[in-house]
């Protein structure tokens, strides 16, 4: 897994964008060995299926950075419910043990949502006024660290999924 990627300075816009893109790409790369079916399986109640990790980390950026900036249309209540993990102040959530029991949103929908979030985050980083860039860098770095935590989980979940096959 890549080392923690952070910009060299909070105001280094291109380093921030590069680090954001690298962290997001790592999550997708971890899923390279998976088939479409593997994205949906939850091999035990204490883990989450890969589609959920990819969706949840995108939801985190959308809900906590893009939405307050007015750069995210109100999230579909279904996405809010399914992708929230334990943020009680942000509304009800699907229990972790049930994440492998739902087929919607589809994996394709989650990947489209993820790509849309990536595009809007890149635009925000590129267009953020200089005087607000330090604050944005703090939020984006927090989101990247959150995603890297999920990459650790995703790594073990992918191994468990592949190891559970006969």
Query: How does pLDDT run across 100-138, given as a tens digit for each residue?
Result: 999 999 999 999 999 999 999 999 999 999 999 999 999
If one looks up domain 15-156 in CATH, what number appears?
1.20.120
Cα-based distances in Å from 7 to 13, 17, 22, 84, 132: 8, 8, 11, 28, 16
Taking phi over 0 as left and psi of -120 to 50 as alpha, with beta for the rest, 91 belongs to left
Question: How does residue 86 score in pLDDT terms, banded at 50, 70 and 90?
Answer: confident
Q: What is the model's pTM?
A: 0.90
State the pLDDT at residue 140: 98
Q: Where are the domains of the chain?
A: 15-156
Residue 3 has pLDDT above 70, yes or no: no
Question: How does residue 1 score in pLDDT terms, banded at 50, 70 and 90?
Answer: low
Task: Report cis status (omega within 30 of 0) of the bond before 105.
Answer: yes
């Amino acid at each position: 897994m890549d080392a923690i990627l952070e910009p060299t300075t909070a105001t280094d816009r291109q380093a921030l964008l590069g680090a954001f893109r690298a962290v997001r790409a790592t999550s997708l790369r971890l899923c390279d060995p998976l088939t479409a079916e593997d994205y949906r399986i939850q091999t035990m109640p204490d883990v989450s299926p890969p589609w959920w990790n990819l969706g949840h980390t995108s939801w985190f950026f959308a809900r906590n950075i893009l939405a307050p900036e007015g750069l995210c249309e109100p999230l579909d209540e279904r996405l809010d419910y399914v992708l929230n993990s334990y943020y009680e102040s942000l509304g009800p959530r699907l229990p972790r043990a049930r994440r492998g029991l739902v087929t919607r949103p589809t994996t394709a929908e989650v990947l489209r949502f993820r790509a849309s979030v990536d595009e809007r985050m890149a635009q925000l980083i590129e267009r953020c006024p200089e005087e607000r860039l330090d604050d944005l860098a703090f939020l984006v770095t927090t989101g990247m660290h959150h995603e890297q935590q999920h990459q650790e989980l995703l790594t073990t979940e992918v191994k468990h999924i592949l190891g559970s096959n006969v």
